[in-house]
């Protein structure tokens, strides 16, 4: 048995092609075979979290048990009461394993006893569940469906982050034959496009060009054409590598008859930074928008913490992107990356307010649209240069 990280090798797709034959045949007949799907899920989890990764496998089992007990207990509590502190405590308990994994390296503690590939994405799903139980949106807590939602293997390592209600609806209802033909076609297309992104463009940019421009930039030193080249190559590599993984996950989900949301939609063609976040890692940005930003804004406005709505909004952006930076890791460049994006969005909002007041004087045409895309692209690429930590390497600043 060959143990593999999801989508890391063509062998993984050979396993998918063989294992999915009964699933595809039954879905073409308009039926879903849940017991076989569960068997396939266990197989793919085993080849990803077994063998040398067996400690991750034990960690994920313990993690799922913990989240299921937590979700079930809170659902039972929520049927009778709705104390805010119990809700906050449950959310904190839900994110505690992820916090331990993120914080442990600071004290040079090895977190492998609790960490596993994809713990962030499972935590997003689990916290989302607790919040929707509190909102009263989740009317029924079905342990089996919740476990299947958490460990849905096509998206377990790097998303996209699905929503429970959408997933549960498709879990209990097979798509029509016409709908599945459409999903099957799109799924195959996504997997082949993912191969182009990940194995060809991502490889050329990441394994061939990136080391070369990195050495070129270091040899030049300081602000130079080498740094500019590194910024472009790293940004494109980041996109094609991650978008490739997402296409694999979405494509595999489609083959199983699940319409998992897409994660990228031509983000480098965005005319402003808000539009960029509506197109880049969409499931993550929408998750932070719905479960962090909107709730924080509601609380700040309800308690009238700030008099100005603009101040409230800007504080919300900085809190949101600071959290997002910390989530990436407790290093200075991730935190600066988050704050930089908050600043960009605040500037963007100020510009839109100015533009609205002076719309008669400010032209709007194809040239200004292209210029907006050019500016946004470079602002985003600079953020990825920060994100890469390469600036620290250049100036000799500690990586942490």
Task: Report, as residue numbers or ranges, the catalytic residues.
Answer: 328
CA 36 to chain centre: 28
Contact between 194 and 247 under an 8 Å Cβ cutoff? The reply is: yes
CA 119 to chain centre: 12
- What does the DSSP assignment read for 68-91? HHHHHHHHHHHTT---HHHHHHHH
DSSP state of 331: S
CA distance 40 to 199: 25
The region that residue 17 occupies, defined by phi over 0 for left and psi between -120 and 50 for alpha, beta otherwise, is alpha
- The kind and range of the H/E element at 265 are none
Contact between 119 and 63 under an 8 Å Cβ cutoff? The reply is: yes
CA distance 30 to 48: 30
**Which distant-in-sequence residues (6+ apart) come within 8 Å of 54 by Cβ?**
none
- The kind and range of the H/E element at 271 are none
DSSP state of 263: S
| Cα angle for residues 125, 128, 132 (degrees, 5° grid) | 140
CA distance 291 to 128: 7
Other C-beta atoms lying within 10 Å of the C-beta of residue 370:
11
Q: Where are the alpha helices (DSSP H) in 196-308?
A: 202-203, 210-220, 225-255, 273-277, 282-288, 294-302
Positive or negative, the Cα torsion across 179, 185, 187, 189?
negative
Cis amide leading into 216 (omega within 30): no
């Amino acid at each position: 048995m060959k143990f593999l990280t999801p989508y890391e090798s063509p062998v993984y797709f050979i396993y998918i092609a063989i294992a999915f034959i009964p699933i595809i045949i039954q879905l073409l007949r308009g039926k879903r075979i849940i017991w076989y799907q569960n068997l396939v899920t266990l197989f793919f989890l085993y080849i990803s979290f077994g063998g040398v990764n067996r400690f991750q496998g034990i960690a994920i089992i313990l993690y799922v048990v913990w989240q299921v007990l937590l979700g079930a207990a809170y659902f039972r509590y929520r049927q009778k009461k709705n104390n805010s502190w119990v809700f906050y405590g449950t959310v904190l308990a839900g994110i505690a394993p992820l916090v331990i994994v993120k914080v442990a390296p600071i004290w040079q503690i090895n977190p492998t006893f609790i960490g596993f590939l994809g713990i962030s994405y499972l935590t997003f799903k689990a916290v989302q569940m607790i919040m929707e139980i509190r909102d009263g949106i989740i009317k029924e807590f079905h342990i089996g469906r919740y476990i299947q939602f958490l460990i849905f293997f096509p998206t377990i390592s790097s998303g996209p982050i699905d929503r429970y209600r959408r997933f549960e609806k498709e879990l209990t209802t097979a798509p029509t034959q016409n709908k599945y033909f459409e999903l099957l076609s799109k799924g195959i297309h996504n997997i082949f496009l993912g191969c182009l992104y990940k194995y060809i463009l991502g490889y050329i940019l990441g394994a061939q060009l990136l080391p070369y421009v990195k050495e070129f930039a270091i040899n030049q030193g300081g602000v130079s054409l080498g740094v500019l080249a590194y910024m472009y190559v790293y940004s494109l590599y980041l996109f094609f590598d991650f978008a490739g993984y997402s296409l694999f996950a979405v494509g595999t989900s489609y083959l199983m008859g699940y319409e998992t949301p897409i994660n990228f939609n031509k983000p480098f063609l965005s005319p402003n930074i808000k539009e960029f976040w509506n197109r880049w890692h969409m499931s993550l940005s929408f998750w932070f928008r719905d479960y962090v930003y909107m709730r924080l804004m509601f609380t700040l406005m309800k308690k009238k913490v700030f008099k100005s709505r603009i101040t409230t909004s800007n504080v919300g952006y900085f809190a949101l992107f600071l959290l997002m930076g910390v989530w990436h890791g407790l290093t200075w460049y991730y935190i600066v990356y988050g704050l930089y994006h908050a600043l960009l969005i605040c500037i963007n909002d100020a510009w839109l307010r100015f533009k609205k007041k002076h719309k008669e004087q400010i032209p709007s045409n194809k040239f200004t649209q292209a210029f907006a895309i050019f500016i946004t692209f470079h602002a985003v690429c600079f953020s990825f240069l920060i994100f890469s930590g390469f600036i620290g390497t250049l100036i000799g600043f500690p990586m942490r």
